[in-house]
Amino acid sequence: MKKIIATLLVLLAATTLVVGCKKARGTLIGIAMPETHVLRWVKDGNSLKAEAEKLGYRAEAQYGDANQATQNQQIQSFLTQGAKALVVGCINDGVSSVIAEAGRDKVVVVAYDRIIPNSADYDYFITFNNFKVGVLQAESIVNGLNLAEATTSAPKYITLFAGSPTDGNAFFFFDGAMSVLNTYIDKGVLKVVGPYPKTSADTANFQRIATENWQAPIAKTRMENLLNNDARNVTLDAVLAPNDTLGRAIIEACKADAKYRGKLPVVSGQDAEFDSAMSIKNGEQYSTVFKDTAKLAEAAILLADQALKGQAINIPGAVLASGDLAKIGDTGKKVVKTYLLDPILVTKDNLNVPIDAGFYDRTEAVKLQN
């Protein structure tokens, strides 16, 4: 009898799985990623598609080329094809009109990594603790410069860069970083060269250090200008760089300046891009922040799946943002349910962390380990 019941239970479980998959099968999830010039998004798109297919969905990934009109057309096309869920890493607030349309069609929208601003037409956001990303960047600078022991008679010099002012994350990264750096600046042991917004709320100065659409050439040119003007008579000890793509552009500009040939400033980053990991290994870039985007993708698809099935949302490995962090989910029109994953600081000392997480392919991992 026991055996029969056990067999029946197994059969029941198998049928539920098949039916679940069947229900998913044929259902389209549209994946709209913002750009390809920052490499992570290509990986994100691939991971999201694979995760959706694993759960039996049809999935298609499109890349918006940092152009919101292009991405809107892609989202529109997903809707025309009858997509039941959208996973969107948007470019700017111009996305809200298509999200409104998705909302009217009862399509499940998950804001992916970046908030969809100015919209009350969706419910879910999954990302990393972006304030903490900034904190980690700044902490690596504090360590790299040994700021705890710096004195006002021999202060260290830093210049500040921020990400795209059209990307909500850029504000959290910056404010997280300044929550750490301001202490040393106030003490007079760290001096800012160039514009100094104490927080992103100083809009005028924030705009001066921001990098439209995270474009590396913009950061490189700004760094070259700084080196020839504001930083002409000092030697920079550090640069707050918001991500790896911009960090490497900043390092390139420094390398072209004789003053930095022997000793580059401490430069932060984010994304654990392979080229930056190599640069860290070679003693150029100082740090990066590893965000396991494979886990983010898995979590985002699970979130979409649970929402599509009307189930309670339960995302292992993510915390529901609350208290101060809930503002990460403020679209300006509504506070959406926001799930946060944890970022990890990576320097030369723990480059193995993203490698061990399987973040790089085999060839890359071998290069990083040799």
In total, the chain counts a number of residues equal to 370
Q: Which is nearer to ligand BGC, 27 or 331 (CB)?
A: 331
Task: Indicate the burial class of 243 (C-beta count within 10 angstroms; 0-12, 13-18, 19 or more).
Answer: buried
Three-state DSSP state, 283 = coil
- Minimum CB separation from ligand BGC for residue 41, in Å? 6
Least CB distance from residue 204 to ligand BGC, whole Å?
A: 23
Q: Minimum Å distance from CB 248 to ligand BGC?
A: 12
Taking CB under 6 A as the rule, does residue 175 contact ligand BGC? no
Cα–Cα dist 297/359, whole Å: 13
User: Could you say whether residue 294 binds ligand BGC (CB under 6 A)?
Assistant: no
| Among 139, 175, 271, 305, contact with ligand BGC (rule: CB under 6 A) | 271
Determine contact, residues 217/233, Cβ cutoff 8 Å.
no
From candidates 29, 38, 107, 300, binder to ligand BGC by CB under 6 A: 38
Spatial distance between the Cα atoms of 268 and 290, rounded to a whole number of angstroms: 12
Nearer to ligand BGC, 96 or 169 (CB): 169
| For ligand BGC, the closer CB: 28 or 177 | 177
* The token pair that represents 106 in the structure block: 């009862």
- Contact, 73 vs 51, CB < 8 A? no
Is position 71 an interface residue for ligand BGC (rule: CB under 6 A)? no
Q: How far is the CB of 177 from ligand BGC (least distance, A)?
A: 14
> Of 31, 32, 40, 142, which one interacts with ligand BGC (CB under 6 A)?
40
Token duo for residue 84: 């039941």
Regarding 305 and contact with ligand BGC (CB under 6 A), the answer is no
The residue type of 313 is: I
Q: How many chain residues bind ligand BGC (CB under 6 A)?
A: 11
Q: How far, in Å, are 208, 314, 359, 361, 365 from residue 356 at the CA level? A: 38, 26, 7, 11, 9
The least distance separating ligand BGC from the CB of residue 101, rounded to whole angstroms, comes to 23
Residue 263 makes CB contacts below 8 A (sequence gap 6+) with none
> Contact 95/88 with Cβ under 8 angstroms?
yes
Of residues 27 and 215, the one with the C-beta less far from ligand BGC? 215
CB of 344 to ligand BGC, least distance (A): 13
Regarding 273 and contact with ligand BGC (CB under 6 A), the answer is: no
**Site membership for ligand BGC, residue 132 (CB under 6 A):** no
Binding segment for ligand BGC (CB under 6 A), chosen from 13-21, 161-169, 175-183, 355-363, is 161-169
| 93 versus 230: smaller Cβ distance to ligand BGC | 93
In angstroms, rounded to a whole number, what is the distance separating the alpha carbons of residues 5 and 336? 44
Collapse the DSSP code of 236 into the 3-class scheme (helix H, G, I; strand E, B; otherwise coil) and give the result: coil
| Position 169 contacts ligand BGC (CB under 6 A) | yes
Cα dihedral 268, 340, 330, 345 in deg (nearest 10) = -10
The set of residues, in sequence order, having a beta carbon less than 8 Å from that of 45 and lying 6+ positions away, is: 31, 33, 61, 62, 63
Shortest distance, position 127 Cβ to ligand BGC, whole Å: 7
Structural element, H or E, at residue 243: none
Residue number with CB closer to ligand BGC (57 or 128)? 128
Q: Which two tokens stand for residue 224?
A: 């070259």
> Alpha-carbon distance 118 to 270, whole Å?
26
Single residue of 63, 214, 286, 290 touching ligand BGC by CB under 6 A: 214
* Minimum CB distance to ligand BGC, residue 221 (Å): 18
| Binding range to ligand BGC, per CB under 6 A, among 163-171, 226-234, 301-309, 337-345 | 163-171
270, 276, 279, 331: residue in contact with ligand BGC (rule CB under 6 A): 270
Considering only residues 91 through 130, tell me which ones interact with ligand BGC, judged by CB under 6 A: 113-114
CA distances from 275 to 168, 254, 348 (A): 25, 17, 14
Where do contacts with ligand BGC occur on this chain (CB under 6 A)?
38, 40, 113-114, 163, 167, 169, 214, 243, 270-271
